[in-house]
Each structure stands twice: as structure tokens, then as C-alpha cells.
Amino acid sequence: MRNPLRSEDAMFRFLLWTLAVAVAIVAVVELIRALS
Amino acid sequence: MEAAAITHGHAADHEHHGPPPANRSSRVEPQLLGMLLFIISEVMVFGAFFTAYFFIRVVNGDQWFPVDGHSLPVAVAFVNTCILVSSSFTLHWAEHGVKTNNRFALKAGILSTFLLGLTFLFVQINEYVHIGFAPHDFAQASVFYGLTGLHGAHVAVGLTLLLMVVVRTWRGHYSPEEHRGVEVPGIYWHFVDVMWIVVFLSVYVL
């Protein structure tokens, strides 16, 4: 991964990526909680 | 010939004022490099606070909220998260506006970013007022106030930077060729948003 701090545009895309990862983590955790 | 060289030398002396330019060992612009190093140090500060969080939840295995009948206002924090994340979108709009010489996008984008950030901070302070426990009540409360307070302090710093950008925008500064004054605070603001997503996830959701 290239440095996300090189420009505002790159950092904004990094934010979107973080958001997507966060949603995925919540989905997985909620799924595990529902199954257990 | 010698006289001409001396004259030329004197002319060169008159053209340059002040100390020689600083040596640059990096390909990154100094302003960006400064913000990059600052953000790396900020990640370490947040890391120290997250260490306390993981000690309570993972090492000690203590119960996270609700604790002693106190729970966290997850719905309010979720709305606040949406407010902060949308401020990154308006900031990106402003940055795109300055690059394409769209003054309306720059002005509307940067002002709405500032107002959304201010709203986030106001809601968080309001949350502290009504939450019903103090930092010294129990360890979980200390970590909660530590993490969210540290982030709130970063929002306050970001708002100060954004206020400067708002004032400079209204004074007619920035152009498609020179907009570093928007870009560098923009990187910081997105970083503050990224950190909030991590804090929100750890403290309120998981």
C-alpha cells in the first residue's frame, strides 16, 4: 500500500477503506454473536 | 575578464538574501513531511491509550459497558459518527473545488466541514454532561473519557485549522496552483475521522 498521507485525496480514500473494514468487522462480530 | 567576473559575483550576492536553502533529503514536500511525521506521532499517542483499553478488556477480561448500571449512548454516538464522516466528504468536495477553481464548492465545502465538526464536538460535550459517570468512578470510565477526550482534543485542533482555512478562503486565498493550505489540514482532518472510526468501533460497538 502506498503512503496514504501523501495527499488529501489519498487520505480520503484511506478513510473510505477504513470505513469499509469497520463495517466488515461489525458484520462478522454480530454474525458470531448471533450464532453463539 | 576578471573585473567582469567580480561584477557578476557581486550581482549574484545582491540577488540572494538570507541563509542558503535548507538541504532536502526527502522527495516529499517539507509541509507534507511535517504533517506525516506529526500524524505518525499521533498514532503512537492513541496507541498508548488503546493499550489501557486492551488491558481492561483482554488482559483483565473485565466487563465492558454496561458497568454498574451505566451504559453508553450508542445511538447518539452513531449519529455523531455519521456527522463526522460526512464532514470528510464535504472537505473532499472543497479540495476538489479549489483544484478545479470552483470557488463556490471551496467556500460551501470548507464552511460545512467546519460546522459539522463543531456539531460533533458539541454533541460529544453534551454526551459527557448527561452520561452519568465521572472518569474516577471506575477503570472503564477512565478509559472511555481518555479515548473519547483525546479524540475530542484532536477535533478541537482540527477545527482551529479549519477556521484558518475558512478565513483565508473568504479572503480570496488558494488557487488551483497553490492550495497546500487546504490540503495539509485536510489530511489531518481525515486522520481525525479515521481515528474516530477506530475509537467508535472499540468503545461503543464491540
Q: Which residue has the higher pLDDT, B62 or B107?
A: B107
Q: Model confidence over B135-173: pLDDT tens digits?
A: 999 999 999 999 999 999 999 999 999 999 999 999 999
Nearest CA in chain A to B186: A8
Is the Cβ pair A5, B35 closer than 8 Å? Answer: yes
Q: How many domains does chain B have?
A: 1
B31 occurs within a structural domain: no
Is the Cβ pair B191, A11 closer than 8 Å? Answer: yes
| CATH number of residue B77's parent domain | 1.20.120.80
pTM here?
0.85
Share of residues in chain B with pLDDT > 70 (%): 92
pLDDT computed for residue B117 by the predictor: 97
B133 occurs within a structural domain: yes
Dihedral (CA of B181, B165, A15, B64) sign: positive
**How close A5 gets to chain B, by Cα (Å)?**
6
Q: Choose the mutation target among B91, B99, B106, B190 for the interface with A, i.e. most A CBs under 10 Å.
A: B190
Q: Model confidence over B12-39: pLDDT tens digits?
A: 555 667 887 777 777 777 878 888 888 8
pLDDT computed for residue B1 by the predictor: 44
Domain boundaries, chain A: 4-35
Q: Residue B143: which domain range?
A: 39-57+71-205
Q: Is the pLDDT of residue A23 over 70?
A: yes
